[in-house]
Amino acid sequence: MYLRALTEDVCELCRDVKGYFLTLERKLGSKPGQFIMLWVPGVGEIPLSVADEEDERVLLVIARKGKVTTFIHDNVRPGSVMYLRGPLGRGFQVNSNGRALIVGGGCGAVPLLFLTKVLARNRSQVTVALGFKDRDSVMLVEEFLKYTKDVYVATEDGSVGVRGTVIDLMEKLVSDGAYDFVYTCGKEAMMKAVVLKALDMGLEVEASLERLVKCGLGICGSCSLEPLGLRVCVDGPVFKGRVLTQLDDFGRWWRDASGRRVPLPA
Ligand SMILES: Cc1cc2nc3c(=O)[nH]c(=O)nc-3n(C[C@H](O)[C@H](O)[C@H](O)COP(=O)(O)OP(=O)(O)OC[C@H]3O[C@@H](n4cnc5c(N)ncnc54)[C@H](O)[C@@H]3O)c2cc1C
């Protein structure tokens, strides 16, 4: 069943990324890491993470990519109505009273914002490491700072925070063994490095994967992962590190619109 979503506000978060504050006809009730399918009648339907949820209000953060996201960027304004179904999939395991390290790259920061809020509410100590390409792609830092003062930023060109990747940041942060749990979302090559590093250090780790999600219900197989046949839309999008290391597809393959296995886009 679809929920009616009224657009209350739209803001520019960085180059080609906008935030959409929506009020739903009833509470969504998602857990951090779960996603929704956003339907724009006459245009299409796409999977999106929940960036924040409070009562009937939901924040979606949308990067301009192709047909649907470009339509939304160009046409959706306060007062516009869209529809969504969810919450879908399996989210992050939210621990209480723990010490969590969050590692996000680019738009991967989106589901990690909601996670950070809920972890902080559950009295976990949260450190956030965010990596971006350059100054124009830095986003959501102020929002993370609402929940923890320990937010570190890296940019590849050094224009904001430290110069380097979020992996460099992670290497520095984990060296003192201060964490029990690592959560990550971003480009898969980055997540693979995070997962391997965390497992190597004996830390629990979870990562949120992206694939072409069509039905969102586990039927069509467009987001299935070889060789275990796990589906991102119902078995994920969040997977445990130990499961990811058993997947040939992790960091290497995905399925194109026809379902063919092709190299992951860079
Ligand atoms: C569980 C999940 C959560 C997501 N959360 C967010 C989010 O919070 N914010 C956000 O901006 N995006 C998110 N995405 C990605 C988003 O769904 C795609 O960017 C979107 O579907 C593209 O639709 P489009 O019609 O604009 O692009 P299309 O016209 O379909 O495609 C344009 C280009 O984008 C690529 N593309 C299409 N779908 C995806 C995809 N799923 N992942 C990566 N590239 C894709 C295509 O290969 C093509 O090169 C998420 C994806 C998943 C699976």
- Is the CB of 237 within 6 Å of ligand 1? yes
112 three-state secondary structure: helix
Cα(108) to ligand 1 centroid in Å equals: 12
Of 88, 113, 132, which residue is a domain's last?
88
Residue 250 is part of which domain span?
Answer: 99-263
- Is the CB of 151 within 6 Å of ligand 1? no
Q: Per the structure, how many domains does the chain have? A: 2
Is-contact 87 6, C-beta < 8 A?
no
Say if residue 177's pLDDT is above 90.
no
- Is the CB of 211 within 6 Å of ligand 1? yes
Judge if 83 and 108 occupy the same domain. Answer: no
- Is the CB of 69 within 6 Å of ligand 1? yes
pLDDT in tens, 71-105: 999 999 999 999 999 999 999 999 888 899 999 99
Q: Render the burial of 89-120: b for 16+ CB within 10 Å, e for the rest.
A: bbbbebeeebebbbbbbbbbbbbbbbbbbbbb
Judge if 111 and 221 occupy the same domain. Answer: yes
- Is the CB of 48 within 6 Å of ligand 1? yes
Give percent above pLDDT 90 in the chain.
Answer: 95
User: Would you give the DSSP letter of residue 42?
Assistant: T
93 domain residue, yes or no: no
69 alpha-carbon distance from chain centroid: 16
Nearest to 88 by CA among 194, 178, 223, 187: 223
Judge if 32 and 123 occupy the same domain. Answer: no
- Is the CB of 19 within 6 Å of ligand 1? no
- Is the CB of 234 within 6 Å of ligand 1? no
Which residue minimizes the CA distance to atom 50 of ligand 1?
48
pLDDT in tens, 3-22: 999 999 999 999 999 999 99
| C-alpha distances in Å from residue 51, one per residue of 57, 108, 158, 265 | 11, 10, 26, 24
Q: Tokens 């999008």 — which residue?
A: 237
Write out the two tokens for 14: 């960085």
DSSP of 183-235:
EEES-HHHHHHHHHHHHHTT-EEEEE-----SSSSSSS-TTEETTTTEETTTT
pLDDT in tens, 103-160: 999 999 999 999 999 999 999 999 999 999 999 999 999 999 999 999 999 999 999 9
Task: Kindly give the number of the ligand 1 atom that is closest to the alpha carbon of 210.
Answer: 53
